[in-house]
Amino acid sequence: MSALPRELQCMSTSGKTSFNRTFLGRLNLRFPWLKLYLVIFIGIAAILDLLDLTISRTNDPQDRISIAPMSKHVQITKRDIAGKKLIALTFDDGPSATTTPKLLNILKSRDVPATFFMLGNMARGNPDIVKRVSEEGHEVASHTMYHQNLIRISNDSAQSDINEAKSIFEDILGHAPNLTRPPYGNYNDNVRRAVNTPMILWSVDTLDWKKRDPDTIVSTALDQAYDGAIILMHDIYDTTVEAVPKLIDSMRQNGYEFVTIPELAKERGSSLESGVAYYNFRP
């Protein structure tokens, strides 16, 4: 018996072996501090978990809108928009393999975020550009799949067009866009239901698709600009891309700062409701 481990030397009268100490009991004798450490560790973990839930649980309705993280260059500069007039640059009908990268370079060099209302068929052919737009802190939004006039086609066709575009963006980005701009700004009750997102229109039309002159595009935008306005442009035209640097500089000289649509909406206290059309976000 003496050769057995000490824990096995206690025999009952019935001949069955019993342990004189439990595992936890032996552990407590050899490492009396361990139980205290376990209690402290569990307590800290519970506090951290509670803090995380408190931070995540917010009543801000904007949390329904997934805002793309700002790019590194924007994070470094920490754009100061407090007390400034705010305006949103939006670009339709892209992305273009030739003009959109040029535009992105300009926006990055001036720390300007924008909102891109992309066509699904254009995004499908340029997935890397779509990813770059998102990664550099801009908002990727839907302009439907084929730029059809949704109120002139059947309800089923409109729904199919919208859903096809959403599927393209999901494949590229892992999620569907949170904003939609119906082509030509046309919508009805069926379109409201079909898009199932806030609808973003515009209040400043540069007519860049028609005028194709950088100076005219800039002057048109400046003449119509106001705090909370949404500027409509198209990133598929070289003349538009040429106009953007001068437009940005002129706007900033006039006290404006640029924000994405979700940022503008949040600053103006808008919850961006699905099916609602927004033309501007005045103070």
Q: Is residue 283 part of a domain?
A: no
Examine the domain organization and report whether 269 and 129 are in the same domain: yes
The residue from 11, 29, 57 where one domain ends is 57
pLDDT at position 187, please?
Answer: 97
Examine the domain organization and report whether 29 and 80 are in the same domain: no
The residue from 57, 80, 98 where one domain ends is 57
pLDDT at position 84, please?
Answer: 85
pTM for this predicted structure? 0.74
Examine the domain organization and report whether 171 and 262 are in the same domain: yes
Q: Is residue 108 part of a domain?
A: yes
Examine the domain organization and report whether 124 and 159 are in the same domain: yes
Here the tokens at position 95 are 């992305």
DSSP symbols for 233-252: EETT-HHHHHHHHHHHHHHH
**Residue 209's CB: how many other CB atoms inside 10 A?**
17
Examine the domain organization and report whether 47 and 100 are in the same domain: no
Catalytic residue list contains 175: no
The sign one gets for the Cα dihedral 55, 58, 61, 64 is positive
Supply the range of the domain harboring residue 15.
1-57
Q: Which residues pair with 85 in a beta bridge?
A: 256
Catalytic-labelled residue, pool 92, 111, 161, 208: 92
Q: Is residue 256 part of a domain?
A: yes
Is residue 233 a contact partner of residue 181, using CB atoms and an 8 Å limit?
no
Q: What is the CA radius of gyration of the chain?
A: 29
Examine the domain organization and report whether 113 and 221 are in the same domain: yes
Buried b / exposed e over 29-63, threshold 16 CB at 10 Å, is eeeeeeeeeeeeeeeeeeeeeeeeeeeeeeeeebe
Report how many domains make up the chain: 2
Examine the domain organization and report whether 7 and 130 are in the same domain: no
Examine the domain organization and report whether 80 and 197 are in the same domain: yes
The sign one gets for the Cα dihedral 194, 186, 237, 91 is negative
Here the tokens at position 103 are 């535009």
Examine the domain organization and report whether 31 and 86 are in the same domain: no
Examine the domain organization and report whether 177 and 240 are in the same domain: yes
What's the CATH code of the domain at 141?
3.20.20.370
Q: Which one-letter amino acid corresponds to residue 158? A: A
Examine the domain organization and report whether 42 and 83 are in the same domain: no
Catalytic residue list contains 234: yes
pLDDT at position 27, please?
Answer: 53
pLDDT at position 18, please?
Answer: 44
The residue from 24, 57, 90 where one domain ends is 57
- Looking at beta carbons, which pairs linking 45-54 to residues 24 or more positions away fall under 8 Å? none
Give per-10-residue mean pLDDT for the chain (283 aa): 44 43 56 63 59 34 36 46 90 98 98 98 98 98 98 98 98 98 98 97 98 97 98 98 98 96 96 97 96
Catalytic-labelled residue, pool 93, 138, 234, 235: 234
Is residue 116 a contact partner of residue 177, using CB atoms and an 8 Å limit?
no
User: How far apart (Å, rounded) are the C-alpha atoms in residues 117 and 234?
Assistant: 9
pLDDT at position 189, please?
Answer: 97
Examine the domain organization and report whether 75 and 47 are in the same domain: no
